[in-house]
C-alpha cells in the first residue's frame, strides 16, 4: 500500500507572512490538500538573532497559516551554518517516519540545475585551495561549482538557492523523501524593504516594525487572519531597544568570565577566530563586537551564531559537541486536529522519542548524554530568550503545553 503524501518544511517563521502562505498553497497545488509538518527554529534563529516573538506564538501563527504540526528545530541545529541547519531539519523530518516530500523555496528558474549541482562532489584538496584565498564557505562553493560548470553561476545569486542546495545534500541519505522546490518570487530573501505587490521577506517585516512600528505595510505583509493577533502582540511588547541593552550586558559578563580556550572548546570557531573575538571582547555592544570581528571570510551571521553558542554553553554542555550529534528527539510545539492524527501515527513510525511535555525529571531521565546535552541547550536558549526580552526567567519550557488548534 502506497504511503500517503505528507509535506515537510524547515522554517523559522519569524514571523509567518504571506510568502510562507504562498509556499504552502503552491506545494499543495502540486500534491493535493495533504498534511504539512514544519520543523521550526525555537528560541534562536539561524542568523544568530532573537526571533521577534517566542516559539509558541510563532507556532500559533504557523498553524493558523496552514501548517498541521510544528516540531522544534533544536538550538544545536538552528545556530549552525546552512549546512548544519539543513541537516538537523531534514533529519528531524525523516525521523517522523511520515514525511514523503520536502518543500523549500529557491530562486532558480531551473530547479533541475540545482539538483545537478547538489550531486557534485569536490575533494578536500579542492576545498582547501578555494578557501585558502580568504573566501567564505559560500564563496568557495561558488568558485568550485562554476569552474566545473559555468551554468551554475546564476545559482549563487540568492540565499534560498544556497539553503536549497544544503537541503538536497541532506536528502541524499533519505531516498524516501522527494524534493519539492517552490520557486521564490517577489522580494528576495533577506531584502530589507517591503515592496507593495510582491511577496514579502521576514527580514523586511522585522525592519519595518523595528523602525516604523506596526504600519500598514507591515500589516499587509501578513495573511489577513494573522493581522489582529500580531498587532496586539506588537503593541504589548514594542520596547525592542531594551532587548539590546540586556543582551549587551549578558555578553560582556560572559566574555569577561571566559577565555579564548573556552570559546575554542564550546563553539564552532576555527582558524584562530576565538583570538580575534577575544581581542575585541570589550566592544561597546553585541552588534559592535560583530562589526569589529567580521571579515570577508567571517560573515556577521556567523559571528552572531558563535556568540550565542558561547552564551548557551558550559563545561557540562558545550554547543560544539551538541552540534555534532544530530537531533535526539522530536519536540512538539503545536498541532491542529489533523496534526493530532499525525502524532498518533508517529507513535508507531517515529525513529526518535516524541516530547510533548518537559517534566522536572526529564533531564535526569534522559536516555543518553547526547539527549541531555541537546535538551539543556534548548532549555538554556529559551531561558536566555526570556531573560533578554522580559528581564526574567520563569521556566516556560516546563509550563507551556503544545499549542492546539481545532
Give per-residue pLDDT as tens, 12-60. Answer: 999 999 999 999 999 999 999 999 999 999 999 999 999 999 999 999 9
The CB density around residue 319, as the number of other CB atoms within 10 Å, is 27
Dihedral sign for Cα atoms in the order 326, 174, 201, 136: positive
* Per-residue b or e along 127-155, where b marks 16 or more CB atoms closer than 10 Å to that residue's CB: eeebbeeebbbebbbbbbbeeeeeebeeb
Distance in angstroms (rounded) separating the CA atoms of residues 350 and 348:
6
Tell me the three state secondary structure of residue 200. Answer: coil
Distance in angstroms (rounded) separating the CA atoms of residues 290 and 125:
31
Residue 1: predicted pLDDT: 52
Please name the helix (run of DSSP H) or strand (run of DSSP E) that holds residue 149, with its range, or none: none
Distance in angstroms (rounded) separating the CA atoms of residues 341 and 225:
24
Cβ atoms of residues 156 and 138 within 8 Å = yes
CA 341 to chain centre: 26
Cβ atoms of residues 92 and 44 within 8 Å = no
Burial environment of residue 337 by CB neighbours within 10 A (0 to 12, 13 to 18, 19 or more)? exposed
DSSP 335-367: E-HHHHHHHHHHHHH-SS-EES---TTTTTT-S
Residue found by looking up cell 489577513 in the block: 224
Tell me the three state secondary structure of residue 41. Answer: strand
Tell me the three state secondary structure of residue 103. Answer: strand
Q: Where on the phi/psi map is residue 396: left (φ > 0), alpha (ψ -120 to 50), or beta?
A: alpha
Among residues 42, 6, 111, 117, which one has the least CA distance to residue 331?
A: 42
Cβ atoms of residues 145 and 157 within 8 Å = no
pLDDT, tens digit, 9 for 90 and up, residues 138-195: 778 888 888 888 888 777 776 788 898 899 999 999 999 999 999 876 555 455 557 6
pLDDT mean by block of 10 residues, the chain; 406 residues: 86 94 95 97 96 96 98 98 96 98 86 82 84 77 85 76 90 94 66 66 89 91 94 80 88 94 95 93 92 91 97 94 96 98 97 95 95 97 95 95 93
Residue 116: predicted pLDDT: 84
Residue 136: predicted pLDDT: 76
Distance in angstroms (rounded) separating the CA atoms of residues 333 and 91:
17
Q: Where on the phi/psi map is residue 358: left (φ > 0), alpha (ψ -120 to 50), or beta?
A: beta
Residue 192: predicted pLDDT: 55
Instruction: Give the predicted TM-score (pTM) of the model.
Output: 0.93
Amino acid at each position: 500500500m502506497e504511503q500517503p503524501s505528507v509535506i515537510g518544511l524547515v522554517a523559522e517563521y519569524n514571523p509567518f507572512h504571506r510568502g510562507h502562505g504562498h509556499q504552502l498553497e503552491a506545494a499543495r497545488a502540486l500534491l493535493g490538500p495533504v498534511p504539512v509538518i514544519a520543523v521550526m527554529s525555537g528560541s534562536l534563529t539561524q542568523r544568530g538573532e532573537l526571533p521577534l516573538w517566542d516559539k509558541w506564538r510563532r507556532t500559533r501563527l504557523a498553524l493558523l497559516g496552514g501548517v498541521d504540526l510544528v516540531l522544534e528545530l533544536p538550538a544545536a541545529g538552528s545556530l549552525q551554518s546552512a549546512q548544519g541547519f539543513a541537516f538537523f531539519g531534514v533529519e528531524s523530518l525523516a525521523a517522523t517516519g511520515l514525511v514523503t516530500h520536502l518543500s523549500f523555496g529557491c530562486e532558480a528558474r531551473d530547479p533541475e540545475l540545482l539538483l545537478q549541482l547538489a550531486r557534485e562532489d569536490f575533494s578536500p584538496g579542492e576545498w582547501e585551495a578555494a578557501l585558502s584565498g580568504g573566501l567564505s564557505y559560500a564563496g568557495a562553493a561558488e568558485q568550485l561549482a562554476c569552474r566545473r560548470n559555468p551554468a551554475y553561476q546564476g545559482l549563487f545569486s540568492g540565499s534560498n538557492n544556497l539553503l536549497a542546495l544544503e537541503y538536497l545534500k541532506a536528502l541524499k541519505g533519505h531516498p524516501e523523501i522527494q524534493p519539492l522546490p517552490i520557486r521564490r518570487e517577489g522580494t528576495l530573501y533577506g531584502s530589507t524593504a517591503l515592496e507593495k505587490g510582491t511577496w514579502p521577506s521576514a527580514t523586511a517585516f522585522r525592519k519595518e516594525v523595528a523602525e516604523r512600528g506596526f504600519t500598514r505595510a507591515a500589516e499587509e505583509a501578513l495573511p489577513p487572519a494573522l493581522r489582529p493577533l500580531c498587532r496586539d502582540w506588537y503593541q504589548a511588547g514594542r520596547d525592542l531597544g531594551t532587548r539590546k541593552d540586556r543582551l549587551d550586558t549578558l555578553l560582556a559578563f560572559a566574555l569577561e568570565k571566559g577565555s579564548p580556550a573556552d570559546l575554542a572548546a564550546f563553539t564552532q570557531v576555527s582558524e584562530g577566530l576565538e583570538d580575534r573575538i577575544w581581542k575585541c571582547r570589550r566592544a561597546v555592544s553585541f552588534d559592535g563586537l560583530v562589526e569589529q570581528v567580521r571579515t570577508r571570510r567571517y560573515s556577521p551571521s556567523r559571528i552572531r551564531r558563535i556568540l550565542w553558542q558561547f552564551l548557551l554553553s558550559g563545561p557540562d554542555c558545550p554547543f560544539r559537541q551538541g552540534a555534532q550529534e544530530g537531533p535526539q528527539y522530536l519536540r512538539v510545539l503545536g498541532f491542529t486536529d489533523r496534526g493530532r492524527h499525525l502524532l498518533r501515527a508517529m507513535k508507531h513510525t517515529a525513529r526518535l522519542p516524541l516530547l510533548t511535555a518537559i517534566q522536572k525529571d526529564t533531564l535526569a531521565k534522559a536516555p543518553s548524554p547526547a539527549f541531555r546535552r541537546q535538551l539543556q541547550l534548548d532549555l538554556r536558549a529559551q531561558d536566555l530568550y526570556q531573560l533578554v526580552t522580559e528581564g526574567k526567567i520563569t521556566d516556560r519550557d516546563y509550563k507551556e503545553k503544545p499549542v492546539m488548534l481545532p
